[in-house]
Chains A and B, each alone.
Chain A
Amino acid sequence: MSVLVYIEVRDGAAKKASLEALSEGKRLAAALGGSVSAVIAGKGVDGAVEAAKNCGADQVFVADSDALASYVPEGSLAAVVDAAKQADAKVVIAAATSQGRDLAPRVAAKMGVMLMPDVTAVSESGGQVQVTRPVYAGKVYMTLKTKSLPVVITTRPNTFDLAESAGAGARVDLDVSFEAKAKVVEVKAAASGKLDVAEADRIVTGGRGMKEPENFKLIEELADTLGAAVGATRAVVDAGWRPHSEQVGQTGKTVGPSLYVAVGVSGAVQHLAGMRTSKVIVAINKDADAPIFKIADYGIVGDALEVVPKLNEALKG
């Protein structure tokens, strides 16, 4: 039974989260006793085709045209559905990025099959597919199993190992026709060098303990030294100190970086749910009883405004 993985392209390159999905797709295909294919929609995607081949794709379906230069939901949808048909795919996988979250439900609805989004584990079970996915922002996990295939799955970024392996990588060009009902007309990049919390491998998050918005300069400096993204709690986003794009927690982003530094963050349930899968958690907080210390690996009890500059200095030195 074959597996098809959608490879998202940004600026001509395959997204890392998509290659993670492909690596997992390769493992799942082996368990199901089938091949793994990739499907790419865009303009000038040769680099992404090569990347898919190097992550083990046996076939790479390519829709390459001017009309697909920016993300067109209907265009990517047509490409995936066409490729799924040609590959006789029983499992279609995309990474749960903003584009994957947008596309995968459409693919499932179009194919008339089930969607299992944002999974953190996938396995074969008696010829069916079993997944585990965090629900309630990660407060609990749910395990689901298909009763019939095909199924569409999205995989959580930074969760599955990226494994290079040579695939046959036979290129199959698709000729897709679609009516673009919605179209991306412009992509505004965030300030240069600014990392996104959803993708960053290190995050420094500031909470109410920073006392005022100006003090986030200290957070930004520490993040800069660590090569980390700046995160924020719901309290400081709701207060208008930081943009929502930085919010970590149940009404923000769920993250799992290698290093998470929580500064002046008390640790509300909805925040902990969004970052508890981080590999190493450091907490700096004045209140020794703050819930954040219960899940932190390393804690310093102290005033963030004093500790952070010292920490930044020590890391630089």
Chain B
Amino acid sequence: MNIAVLVKLVPDTAAQIRLTSDKSWIETRDLNWVLSPYDEYAVEEALKITEAKGGEVTAITYGGENAAEALRKTLAMGAHKAVHVKKDGFTDLLGTAQALAKQVEAGGYDLVFAGFKATDDDCAAVGPMVATVVGLPCVTEVAQLEIGEGKLTAQREIEGGTEVVEASIPCVLTAQKGLNEPRYPSLKGIMMAKKKPIENVEAEDTEPRVETVGFSYPPARPAGKIVGEGTDAVPELVRLLREEARVIE
């Protein structure tokens, strides 16, 4: 099976996010960049499948020069080759999905994985958008997966339950946490990654359909109070919740 994995480089989830002084964008200096956590589940699943059934894993990313770091991290985990669709500056979601769809279509992959969302813009959109542009079935937020002959069975979490979904192959799947335990790249993997091919493709110029008005910090929460220490504080807490906050009866 030949599998593509769509990956993205994002700031570490432990990072505090600061805005530039004019609040037009986030401050990207001094950030530690990682492979988006959900992409790690996508990469791991792709590697597991090719290890069991043969085939190659191709990592694909979209973005400026530094986006290639996501490819190197994926190659270090064990992916075989990579494609960097190069584009500087802001592209809207549909433009990104269309550019990635072009690569997905050209590659003729049996499966396409992506993280269910990137932990920077939290859009959770590129996987199903790519699938729709290419005309492939898609199962999002997959927490469990079984690959059969020409079809697959996936489980996805919904509010208060789990959906069992059957889809034909080829198919686009977006990975939810819990799908697997992603491996750490070994030193050997990191060394080998440097020799693996990264194909560079120039993205078409697209005009964004939206403009960014600006960024802001979430409204500050009013200072709270320490009600007291230990079990002695419980009656006062209950009183405050009833009479001041009025959130319980």
Residues in A lying within 8 Å of B, measured CB to CB: 71, 73-74, 77, 97-99, 101-106, 108-110, 112-118, 130, 132-148, 151, 181-190, 194-196, 198-199, 202, 226, 237, 243-245, 247, 250-252, 258-259, 268-270, 276-277, 279-282, 288, 293-303, 306-307, 310-311, 314-315
Contacts and interface: CB of A to CB of B under 8 A. Distances in A.
Given A114-B92, A182-B166, A298 B240 contact: yes
A306 B222 CA distance: 28
A298 B242 CA distance: 12
Given A108-B94, A300-B237, A250 B165 contact: no
A134 B217 CA distance: 9
A250 B119 contact: yes
Contacts of B162: 187-188, 190
Nearest to B161: A189
Contact of A73 (B13, B16, B138, B164): B138
A304 to B, nearest CB: 11
Contacts of B120: 135-136
Interface in B183-220: 208-218
B104 interface: no
Interface of B: 11, 13-17, 19, 26, 37-38, 92-94, 97, 119-133, 136-141, 143, 153, 156-168, 171, 176-178, 208-218, 221-222, 224-231, 233-235, 237-238, 240-241, 245, 247-248
A109 B128 contact: yes
Given A115-B129, A118-B122, A311 B238 contact: yes
A186 B125 contact: no
Given A182-B165, A202-B247, A314-B234, 10 more contacts: A101-B141, A137-B122, A139-B16, A140-B216, A182-B167, A184-B163, A243-B178, A280-B245, A302-B233, A306-B230
Q: Main secondary structure on chain B at its contact with chain A?
A: mixed
A302 B129 contact: no
A300 B234 contact: yes
Contacts of A109: 94, 97, 128-130, 132-133
A303 B217 CA distance: 33
B212 A143 contact: yes
A23 to B, nearest CB: 19
Given A136-B120, A147-B208, A315-B238, A141 B216 contact: yes
7 pairs of A and B residues whose beta carbons are closest in the complex: A181-B137, A182-B167, A109-B132, A105-B125, A302-B230, A143-B213, A114-B209
Contacts of B133: 109
Contacts of B212: 142-144
A98 B159 contact: yes
